[in-house]
Amino acid sequence: MKVGVLGATGYAGQELVRLLQRHEEVNDLYLASSSVAGEDYDSVYPHWLGQNVGILQDENVPDLDVLFCALPHGLTAARTSTFLSRNIKVIDLGADFRLNSAQVYEEWYKIKHPAAGLLKDAVYGLTELYREQIRGRSLIANPGCYPTATLLALVPLLRKNLLQTKFLIIDAKSGVSGAGRGVSLGTHYSEVNENFKPYGVASHRHTPEIEQELSRAAGQPLTVNFTPHLVPMTRGMLVTIYAAVQDGVKEEDLRRCWLEQYNGEEFIRILPQGTWPQTKFASGSNNAFLQLTIDQRTGNAILVAAIDNLIKGAAGQAIQNMNLVMGCPESQGITGTALWP
């Protein structure tokens, strides 16, 4: 396959490069960056020195089979119709096609949607939940990192009506790489180190994405309390969810639902009872780790999910989508366990 990456020098873009370099079906890799076109890739990321990754190109995209777009919101959508007309499959790691409604997108992202007419053609690319809808399609909206962890935990339980929809609290934590490679005061070392802080409280842009997919699973509109936090670590994501169960639902009902949904799934790890997810379990891998219990004092369920925000939350999942779209084995190029310690 001939494959391209727009935004190849960002953190998610670099993870795409790392994974695509070892993918057996990728024999031609086009890497683009608007800021450093013409430079060797290893001049931006010296750990690639001696591996002949190639020269970064401008963003005049050649003929490709698949194009990954790891760009800020608004930049991919404006060009997508041109790519599709050239029979290039587009996998967008940004937010432009995740929301079904252009109005909701414009409300949360504060720009006019550049290609609202394409929203109906986009498929939400959370592979374990929407595999058959993704297979063979041309425009895939790669989910956000927070939604990935959240939806893997909640969607199966809501589909089976095991949880009440009026009480859903999502308490999420992410490593600093989730903010991208750009420089900002909020991710400056001395601001983040030995610190722990919430951000985007009651206003984070992943909120409507989470609510859209949870409403789809529940078959009715619902809202959530979603609060993300920044943790002084490079990568990793851990999401703790509090939910009220339906009358008569027991812990074994919730666990059985997960086991049925994820039976045979290579990248989903439902941990033994008493073992709780840690970010290091997933670091450097495409795996997601899940655990749950019901608090006997309150009667509420506690669900925990851990992923690597740059892999299952971005690049690894994007390649999972490419494999489905192009008819490759779904796990090709993205297998492997976490780095430990």
Residue with tokens 């190639």: 54
Tell me the average pLDDT of the chain.
97
Predicted pLDDT of residue 287: 98
Does residue 87 have a pLDDT over 90? Answer: yes
* pLDDT tens, position by position, 96-111: 999 999 999 999 999 9
Across 214-226, average pLDDT: 98
Q: In what order do the strands lie in the sheet with 288-294?
A: 197-198, 225-230, 163-174, 237-245, 300-307, 288-294, 268-270
pLDDT in tens, 129-145: 999 999 999 999 999 99
pLDDT band (50, 70, 90) for residue 183:
confident
> What percent of the chain clears pLDDT 70, i.e. is strictly above it?
100
pLDDT digits (tens, 9 = 90+) for 30-40: 999 988 999 99
Cβ 252 vs Cβ 169: under 8 Å = no
In this predicted model, what pLDDT tens digit does every residue of 290-321 receive, in sequence order? Answer: 999 999 999 999 999 999 999 999 999 999 99
Q: Select from 252, 333, 332, 235 the least CA-distant residue to 292.
A: 252
Indicate whether this model's pTM tops 0.75. yes
In whole angstroms, give the CA distance from residue 247 to residue 68.
45
Domains parsed from the chain with CATH numbers: 2-143+312-326 (3.40.50.720), 146-309 (3.30.360.10)
Q: Are 239 and 304 in contact (CB under 8 A)?
A: yes
Cα–Cα distances in angstroms (integers) from residue 197 to residues 120, 150, 241, in the given order: 37, 20, 18
Does residue 221 surpass a pLDDT of 90? yes
End-to-end CA distance of the chain: 35
Among 69, 145, 257, 328, which one carries the catalytic annotation?
145
Quick check: 112 pLDDT over 90? yes
Question: Bridge partners of 230?
Answer: 174, 197
Confidence of residue 58 (pLDDT cuts 50, 70, 90): very high
Is 257 considered catalytic here?
no
pLDDT at 173: 98
Residue 273 in this model has a pLDDT that exceeds 90: yes
pLDDT at residue number 182:
85
